[in-house]
Structure 1
Amino acid sequence: MSASSLDSGVLLLARGDEILTEQVAGVADRSTGVHCAAGTRFQIASISKQMAAAAVLLLAERGALSLSDPVVRWLPGPPPEWSGITLHHLLTHTSGLGHWEQYPAVDLVDPAEPDDLLGSFAAVPPLFRPGAGWHYSSPGYVLVARAVERVADRPYAEFLAEEVFAPLGMTGSFAGAGDGRPDVAVGHEGGRPVPSWDLATVSMGAGDVWCTGTDLLTWLDVPRRGRLLAPASVTAMTAAHAPTGRPGEAYGYGFFVGPLAGRRALHHSGDNGGYKAFAAWLPDSDQRLVLLSNQAEVDPVTVTSVLGPAEAR
């Protein structure tokens, strides 16, 4: 994907603190004709898992929880099969919980009562015992967000707003439903608007955050500059905890750790209904790459072509 081929969304490439590529294109809402702008907020989908991981690490730094704590401590009526699942397992996708396709009773668009949603997850047996494998699991991150709410004693979206976004100066970011918010892009598929997934409950912690392109670039300063978190927490977040099965790749806490376009990277893509997203930091060249689009047809991984050839070592 070249910079000129972005049809709708925001593309940013930085090296160090210099912006090399900055493109804004397309329409934020076809029903109104409002165009995308630098201040347009997009769903970042599964990149939201990084904010959930940061929330847990912040609480761990304060002694409010431990990454080795069983998650059932903060969940109502958990099934016995979840008794060995820790926060570490959930953050690294090694809990044994499945992804959305394993839970056909869950409708990603329709709102659900929080405890009913947990009941839908509990009704499906885990794929393996905790720590015995790796399987990407958004439902696992929903449990992470529920634990954050219980430990912090406040709504998850409020915790992110006050403890994550505000300290980083991410003034265009928020978690949860976009209804009634200004400057939000509407997701499109096949050129037509599509209903948003429920972000207040069903995708809480897993895919619920909205960001501007600039804010998401700022977010990458958490691993890059050690902002927000203590050094030990940054190390834990970016460590290669669990092999994913792809060559040279592992999962940290909310980050894939492994090769990207032939070089070391921390990265993650996002895919909600009508939205695609991608964010990466390449430490060897200190490049940061952000793509946010409100078109379902975009292949976010192709954006890596704007990085150019890998430098010889």
Structure 2
Amino acid sequence: MQQDIDALMRDHDGTVPGASVLVLRDGRPIVRRSYGMADMEARVAATPATNYRLASVSKQFTAASILLLAQDGRLGLDDPVRKWLPSLPEVAAPITVRHLLTHTSGLIDYEDVMDPADTRQVHDADVLHLLESQHTTYFPPGQGYRYSNSGYALLSLIVERASGLRYADFLRQRIFLPLGMQGTVAFEDGISQVAHRAYGYSLENGAWRRTDQSTTSAVLGDGGIYSSIDDLARWDAALYDERLLKADSLRQAFMPATKTDVADVEYGFGWRITGDSLWHSGETIGFRNVIVRYPKEHMTVVVLTNRDDPEPYETAKRIAVLVRDGDAAH
């Protein structure tokens, strides 16, 4: 099985941008392997401790933060968003926290209203300012589905207002440290560091070029977390018991709340749901990642990569098939 997985990951091996692959079965890592380079310029190889920018895989942590605060009685999932962010325009009045979690708010995509001439990085608070001037929505809240980075940026601001903590500090205090995720961080340039950091790359004219940050890379709520396969193993374990979230909170996170724009995919709170699998991919300049959980089989596959291409979801599903075939052979 390991040789078959190595063959699948062959393009990530050597002096190229790399990848880390984790397969958990019954809580045990049966595959824990890294390929290629975390840092091409410094010639630093990827390891299981390498921290990759998770991109939208971060959304499950934003959703968990909201659920923790709901458990604490600090907020309600059906609170109007303007209760927490009153500067949003009148058109946002019907939008609830639940709509943000499930991409059913209809909010305008902040990426589409950024000033293309402004090369400064946007932060979560800037997303709010951009949306304050948007007096339309794509559809009435709750009446459709449209994947929304805007919604998850606003959720991070709601976490700050309901908890009294900066979002990165809330994640660290309430999720990362309690679970022993020592290397995981919501990265803020000039404030925090990423240990064992992978840098992102894109293939341009046959050569790898560092493309590690874009103007939207500093937004935390929709995609700003760095983590490793070793730390994500700790996260996965916590999703099977009540050490972090109570059973009812987990049930809500993993329950289909809406159909998406893909036929066999539904969405919960920060998780896509396809059949018996819970998954989420992440894509940003220089990184492509996926986590796929099969709770009934007690199996999870994580593939983290520091390159623009290819998208690893299909690879992760093929790895899951190899694991099942290996089990069947025994």
- Corresponding residue number in structure 2 for 1:160: 171
What SS does the corresponding residue of 1:237 show, helix, strand or coil?
A: helix
Bigger Rg, which one: 2
Is 1:186 matched up with 2:186?
Answer: no
C-alpha separation in 2, matches of 1:251 and 1:110: 32
Equivalent residue runs for 1:1-313 within 5 Å:
2-6=5-9, 7=12, 8-99=18-109, 102-105=112-115, 110-112=120-122, 115-124=125-134, 125-177=136-188, 180-190=193-203, 191-197=208-214, 202-259=218-275, 264-303=276-315, 304-308=317-321
Letter of the aligned partner of 1:207 in structure 2? G
C-alpha separation in 1, matches of 2:72 and 2:160: 15
What SS does the corresponding residue of 1:22 show, helix, strand or coil?
A: strand
After superposition, the C-alpha distances for 1:189-218 in whole angstroms (9 at most, x for unaligned) are 111111314678x52210011101111122
Runs (5+) with no aligned partner, structure 1: none
Tell me, yes or no, if the aligned pair for 1:75 and 1:147 is still in contact at 8 Å. yes
Question: How far has the Cα of 1:289 moved from its partner?
Answer: 0.6
Number of residues paired by the alignment?
Answer: 306
Letter of the aligned partner of 1:246 in structure 2? V
**TM-score, normalised via structure 2 length:** 0.86
Tell me, yes or no, if the aligned pair for 1:109 and 1:196 is still in contact at 8 Å. no
C-alpha separation in 1, matches of 2:125 and 2:293: 36
* Cα 1:109–1:189 shift into 2, 3 Å: farther
After superposition, the C-alpha distances for 1:37-76 in whole angstroms (9 at most, x for unaligned) are 1211101110111011111111111111000001112225
C-alpha separation in 1, matches of 2:262 and 2:294: 18
**TM-score, normalised via structure 1 length:** 0.90
Question: How far has the Cα of 1:103 moved from its partner?
Answer: 3.1
Question: How far has the Cα of 1:108 moved from its partner?
Answer: 10
What SS does the corresponding residue of 2:240 show, helix, strand or coil?
A: helix
Tell me, yes or no, if the aligned pair for 1:10 and 1:24 is still in contact at 8 Å. yes
Tell me, yes or no, if the aligned pair for 1:95 and 1:131 is still in contact at 8 Å. yes
Tell me, yes or no, if the aligned pair for 1:110 and 1:197 is still in contact at 8 Å. no
* Cα 1:177–1:108 shift into 2, 3 Å: farther
Question: How far has the Cα of 1:100 moved from its partner?
Answer: 5.2
C-alpha separation in 2, matches of 1:178 and 1:40: 18
Question: How far has the Cα of 1:167 moved from its partner?
Answer: 1.2
CA-based RMSD = 2.3
Runs (5+) with no aligned partner, structure 2: 13-17, 326-330
